[in-house]
Structure 1
Amino acid sequence: MSEIQGVAHLYKAKSHLELSGKSLDEIARVTGFANADSLRRSFLRTFKVSPKYYRQRNG
C-alpha cells in the first residue's frame, strides 16, 4: 500500500470509528488493512491517538 493509499484508508477508518459500531477487526477488513493490529499501529502513528481513544471522544 502506498503512503497516499494508506492515509486514504486511515481516513475511511476514522469515519467508520465515528459513525459505526463496527469492531476494529471489521473496520480493518473493510478499509484494506491486513488486520486490526496493522490499523491500530498506523492510526496511532498518524493521528497520535489510538482508535479506541478516538472513538470514545468522537463516536
Structure 2
Amino acid sequence: MKKNVKSTTSFFRLLIEHRDYEPSPSHILKRMLIPLCEHFAEIAEKGTKNDAWDVIKGFTRECER
C-alpha cells in the first residue's frame, strides 16, 4: 500500500476511534480533518485511480472493525 493511501486511511481511523480526551472541535479540525483533506487533495492531484480505490477500500475496512 502506498504511503499516501495508508496515511489517509490512518487519519480516517482517528475519526472513527475518537477519544473522549480529544473533545474540542478545534482539535478534531486541526489534528484529524485538515490532514485527512490534505491527503485527499494529494491523492486527487498526484495519485492514480487505484490509489483512490485503495483509500475507499481502506475506509471500508476501518468501518468494519
Bigger Rg over Cα: 2
TM-score (norm. length: structure 2): 0.35
TM-score (norm. length: structure 1): 0.37
- Higher RCO, Cα 8 Å, sep 6+: 2
